[in-house]
């Protein structure tokens, strides 16, 4: 049962009701063998666990002088970084128009700010992501989640070593959790696994949810320049200089700032998923209905945040709905971004402090000139297919240098995993041995049939059909995840501009582009009509998909394409053979002194990025740099 009314949510989470979390739901959030405070199922253990951890995020702790200094220090660094970025961007030749448009990625900036605060607060050392608005931790979050466990375990070991006299003890969540004095005072001793699991939860939730609320809220505020100016006027008395650091308690007294904060939380609603509980043994009477023991009851913060009765025109960003504050009791009851009761978010005091400081600093120090659209624009996307014996997660790690460079131009790489499980591929061991299972796009190793003419009647139709089915399934999954075809046959709202393939997947990409280039519209859905391709160290001729339709054997393929060839690659002859399948006037070939690998040197990556941007520009669609 879904609960739409907040009163039901309160009942389901009262401490005097033995409601428990259903294991089927929360087991999915476990990032290590031990339970975190979020995934803990036993109410008694959770209470003891919470008693140990909650004081580290109390309002008293958050408003302590050293805590306020940390938040302001990191926020000032963010503002300085944004100014530095803007100054450099003004000198950079604009790649898409004659006039220079200066933009800053809000989510990137706010995510870096939040990550620096959270890592210092939790582990005692700063990620230092604000110097370049990037951190290796972002790559760990996005492509190698298992490495987060290693990072938190290492932080725990460093804090324990310092506590044992091997270094300076830095006050932080971890140093407190392993302190015997802290544990004795709260009558609970956590295992190392629990501490590590807590660290993972704090790290992931603290950075991403804070950044989401800030970036979406500031985006909409920037579309209201009059409101922006009013907030600047309200802030001016407390923000005497650009380097001023007013106390967080003073910011909390500003009505319009609070209204902007609350409306940003409401429209962004960073945590929208259901939080289910199980009705206890005695059953539950709610709103005239009896629910027997074992009934799963769930609620979502989204229901309250977008309740049209409480928030008229809920899709509209309107901070003034929170003014004057004394008339907002009903709205407050429905605004539950941190949940309520004994299982509410322990970090809400810290994130609210961070958001107040960040909003105040950005609004006071910057002026919105123009916002291009009434909608939040997503980045342009390139679909990436991995080689044999890897998977999407491994390929994301292998392409991290290219991904990072393209992100600065508003291009996002999206990774898909092949349909056929296989052994680890070339270059996967030993670095990614623990990241399996591994997959490929063909039922059999395409190098087993190296040299076969894929355009003759000797083609293995069964293998081709299986591979085609896997490709179609992949596109269907992507269609539901990122968008849909519209009636005019154009790309879906969040489609892909290009497709990239490495090693054997380069041949798969070539086959897809051939089908796209030669098929009739009905047999080549608009959803996967890519504007260009990127082939890296291809190992065979274009794969053929006769079951998808069209004559994929027609030569040449008339789609703009970048081909990267490694001069030391043992399959370089196959890469060059693959290039002959494309129109020479539309093919750009880059040869690097590499083996069979993804280019990672700065110079090589920049050359690839330059060609990709040129293909984007020439395909007559403007990139939206967010």
Binding residues: 345
Give the Cα-Cα-Cα angle 138, 435, 594 (nearest 5 degrees): 75
How many angstroms separate the CA atoms of 245 and 254, rounded? Answer: 15
**420-422 and 289-291 strand pairing:** unpaired
List b or e across 93-123, with b for residues whose CB sees 16 or more CB atoms inside 10 angstroms: eeebeeeeeeebbbbbbbbbbbbbbbbbbbb
Residue identified by tokens 């945590």 is: 271
DSSP annotation of 162 reads: I
Please list the alpha-helical segments (H only) found in 314-459: 329-334, 348-365, 392-398, 400-407
C-beta atoms surrounding 239 within 10 Å? 19
**Alpha-carbon separation of residue 188 from 45, 119, 184, 228 (angstroms):** 9, 24, 7, 47
Any residues with CB less than 8 A from the CB of 524 and at least 6 apart, and which?
A: 515, 516, 548, 549, 550
Residue identified by tokens 């290039």 is: 579
Q: Which tokens go with 571?
A: 């399959």
Ordered DSSP codes for 432-459:
TGGG--EEESSSS-GGGGTT--TTSTTS
Contact 130, 81 (CB under 8 A): yes
Any residues with CB less than 8 A from the CB of 341 and at least 6 apart, and which?
A: 9, 10, 13, 14, 15
User: Binding site residues for heme, as ranges?
Assistant: 345
180 burial class (0-12, 13-18, 19+ CB within 10 angstroms)? exposed
Please list the residues that pair with 278 across neighbouring strands: 20, 296
How many angstroms separate the CA atoms of 12 and 21, rounded? Answer: 11
Please list the residues that pair with 390 across neighbouring strands: 439
Q: Which tokens go with 528?
A: 């996967």
Torsion, Cα of 95, 97, 102, 105 (10° steps): -60
């Amino acid at each position: 049962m879904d609960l739409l009314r907040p009163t039901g949510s309160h009942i389901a989470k009262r401490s005097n009701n033995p409601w428990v979390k259903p294991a089927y739901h929360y087991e999915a959030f476990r990032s290590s063998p031990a339970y975190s405070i979020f995934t803990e199922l036993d109410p008694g253990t959770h209470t003891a666990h919470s008693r140990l951890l909650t004081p580290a995020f109390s309002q008293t702790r958050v408003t302590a002088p050293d805590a306020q200094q940390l938040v302001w220090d990191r926020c000032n660094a963010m503002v300085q970084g944004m100014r530095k970025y803007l100054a450099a961007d003004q000198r950079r030749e604009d790649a898409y128009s004659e006039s220079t448009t200066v933009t800053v990625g809000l989510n990137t900036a706010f995510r870096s700010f939040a990550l620096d605060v959270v890592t210092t607060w939790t582990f005692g050392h700063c990620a230092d992501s604000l110097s370049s608005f990037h951190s290796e931790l972002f790559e760990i979050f996005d492509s190698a989640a298992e490495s987060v466990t290693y990072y938190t375990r290492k932080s725990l070991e460093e804090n324990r070593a310092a506590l044992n006299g091997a270094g300076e003890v830095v006050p932080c969540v971890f140093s407190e959790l392993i302190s015997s004095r802290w544990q004795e005072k709260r009558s609970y001793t956590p295992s190392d696994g629990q501490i590590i699991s807590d660290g993972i939860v704090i790290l992931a939730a603290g950075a991403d949810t804070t950044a989401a609320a800030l970036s979406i809220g500031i985006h909409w505020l920037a579309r209201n320049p009059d409101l922006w100016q009013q907030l600047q006027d309200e802030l001016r008395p407390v923000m005497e200089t650009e380097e001023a650091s007013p106390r967080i308690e003073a910011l909390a007294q500003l009505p319009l700032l609070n209204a902007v904060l609350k409306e940003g939380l409401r429209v962004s609603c960073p945590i929208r998923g259901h939080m289910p509980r199980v009705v206890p043994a005695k059953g539950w009477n709610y709103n005239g209905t009896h629910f027997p023991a074992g009934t799963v009851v769930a609620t979502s913060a989204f229901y309250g945040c977008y309740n049209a009765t409480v928030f008229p025109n809920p899709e509209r960003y309107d901070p003034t709905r929170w003014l004057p504050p004394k008339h907002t009791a009903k709205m407050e009851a429905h605004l539950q971004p941190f949940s309520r009761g004994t299982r509410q978010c322990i970090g809400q005091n810290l994130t609210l402090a961070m958001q107040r400081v960040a909003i105040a600093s950005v609004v006071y120090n910057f002026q919105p000139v123009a916002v291009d659209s009434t909608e939040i624009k997503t980045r342009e996307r390139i679909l990436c297919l991995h080689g044999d014996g890897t998977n999407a997660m491994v390929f994301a790690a292998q392409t991290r240098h290219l991904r990072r460079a393209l992100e600065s131009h508003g291009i996002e790489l999206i990774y898909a995993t092949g349909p056929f499980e296989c052994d680890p591929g070339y270059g996967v061991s030993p670095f990614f041995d623990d990241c399996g299972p591994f997959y490929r796009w063909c039922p059999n190793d395409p190098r087993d049939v190296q040299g076969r003419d894929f355009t003759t009647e000797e083609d293995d139709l069964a293998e081709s059909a299986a591979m085609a089915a896997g490709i179609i399934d992949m596109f269907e999954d992507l269609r539901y995840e990122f968008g849909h075809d519209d009636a005019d046959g154009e790309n879906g709202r969040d489609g892909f501009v290009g497709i990239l393939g490495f090693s054997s997947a380069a041949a798969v990409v070539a086959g897809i582009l051939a089908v796209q280039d030669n098929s009739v519209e009905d047999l080549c859905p608009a959803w996967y009509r890519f504007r260009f391709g990127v082939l890296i160290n291809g190992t065979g001729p274009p794969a053929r998909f006769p079951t998808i339709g069209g004559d994929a054997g027609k030569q040449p393929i008339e789609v703009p394409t970048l081909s990267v060839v490694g001069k030391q690659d043992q399959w370089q002859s196959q890469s060059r053979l693959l290039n002959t399948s494309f129109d020479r006037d539309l093919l750009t070939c880059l040869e690097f002194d590499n083996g069979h690998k993804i280019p990672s040197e700065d110079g090589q990556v920049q050359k690839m990025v330059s060609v990709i941007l040129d293909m984007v520009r020439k395909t007559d669609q403007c990139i939206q740099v967010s």
